[in-house]
Structure 1
Amino acid sequence: MSGVGNKEGARRLGKGMMIGGWVLLIGLLTLLFQDQLERAVNPNSDIEVIVDEQGVREVVLERNRAGHYVASGRINGVPVVFLLDTGATDVAIPQVLADRIGLKRGPAFTSRTANGNVMSWRTVLDRVSLGSISVEGVRASILPTLLGDDEVLLGMSFLKKLELVQRDGSLTLRQY
């Protein structure tokens, strides 16, 4: 009888070790490929700082796999992810993120979005930064429903203060 109990215990131990091994392998592969997946969505998480001898600040962004320009930046010193949108009048911020940053809601108005009209609030951002480029006093809109809870549409209220040049899958932004 004791031989049968030992075999059963060994089988359970072996099965547990095999499951544990698979779980460990899947966890390691997830860690390994997570960075690659993030770079496919946001290839501009580490923006190179370029300032020439005349003081012109420049940022060069690469398109992601979907053909969009996504980049890491800051609003009022808080890290955010921007999706550049030349069709957006203002910088558009999801309500959840606006609350986390501590933005004050101004007057309410109706925004026309790709998904229809939505109630929004005006606000002004103290500082918006993208690499070495910073703009103060940027007009923005807080929208209750927007893409995700952490992605900001970087609209023309910021971009109009820059020179934009698109060439060969990259976008150069210059601040004079």
Structure 2
Amino acid sequence: MTAFDQGHIAYLVLLGAALVYWFVRSNRASAGKVAQQAIAWGLIFLGVIAAIGLWDDIRQTVRPRLGAVAEAGRIKVPRANDGHYYLTLKVNGAPVEFMVDTGASQVVLAKADAQRAGIDTEDLAYVGRAYTANGVVRTAPVRLGAVEIGPVRHENLRAWVNGGEMDQSLLGMSWLQLWDRIEITGNALVLSREGR
């Protein structure tokens, strides 16, 4: 918890204490009714604090999935609230949500996404290593029969299945390099290729 967060908490506690003091002092004559109202206001106050604390989680849960606009040879991906770009591609016919990651050299599938795409993750040889922010993880090379988004299709694409825990599959540079042009403009990632 940062000093900024501690300051917010201290402010809220002082504000709450001042309100409780004023409320009790104003209504000394009817103590039972004051107690009921104090409990009600306390619950409202706690509910507001909980909603503020959980706002980012709530927003991520209820936010609409950002899609990509796919045209012949051009894809426009809006930036998500967290600042990243997400694409849902069909991998071997199954929808898989990826985060575009220019720091990843390859396409990396989380185990659950690989299984959804028909890959038997228990039968793979995890011979590779990937160095991540969370340490070294084992990876297994695979070939993806078809990777599609809208009218754009790539076949026999090399990828890796992550042997460790991974929440989100990654679209790395090996997929991005299949495009002729990559640009970020107007809060969107635009991928385009000429005459294909």
Question: Into which bin does the TM-score normalised by the smaller protein fall?
Answer: 0.5 to 0.7
Cα RMSD of the aligned pairs, angstroms, is: 2.3
Counterpart of 1:156 in structure 2 is 173
Counterpart of 2:160 in structure 1 is 141
Deviation at 1:119, TM superposition (A): 1.0
Scaled by the length of structure 1, the TM-score of the pair is 0.67
Scaled by the length of structure 2, the TM-score of the pair is 0.61
Deviations 1:25-47 (A, max 9, x none): xxxxxxxx9998242xx311xx3
The one-letter amino acid of 2:192's match is R
Deviations 1:87-122 (A, max 9, x none): 111111011221232225356111111211011111
Q: Is the 8 A contact 1:62 1:169 kept in 2?
A: yes
Task: State the alpha-carbon separation in 2 of the partners of residues 36 and 138 from structure 1.
Answer: 32
Task: Please give the residue correspondences for 1:11-160 in structure 2 after superposition, counting only pairs within 5 Å.
Answer: 37-39=62-64, 42-44=65-67, 47-51=68-72, 57-103=73-119, 105-106=124-125, 108-148=127-167, 151-160=168-177
Higher relative contact order (CA 8 A, sep 6+): 1
Counterpart of 1:8 in structure 2 is none
- Structure possessing the higher radius of gyration over alpha carbons: 2
Task: State the alpha-carbon separation in 2 of the partners of residues 35 and 109 from structure 1.
Answer: 33
Instruction: Identify the structure with the greater strand proportion.
Output: 1
Secondary structure in 2 matching 1:121: strand
Task: State the alpha-carbon separation in 1 of the partners of residues 116 and 69 from structure 2.
Answer: 27
Percent sequence identity is 27
The one-letter amino acid of 1:103's match is I
Q: How many residues align?
A: 133
Task: State the alpha-carbon separation in 2 of the partners of residues 100 and 67 from structure 1.
Answer: 27
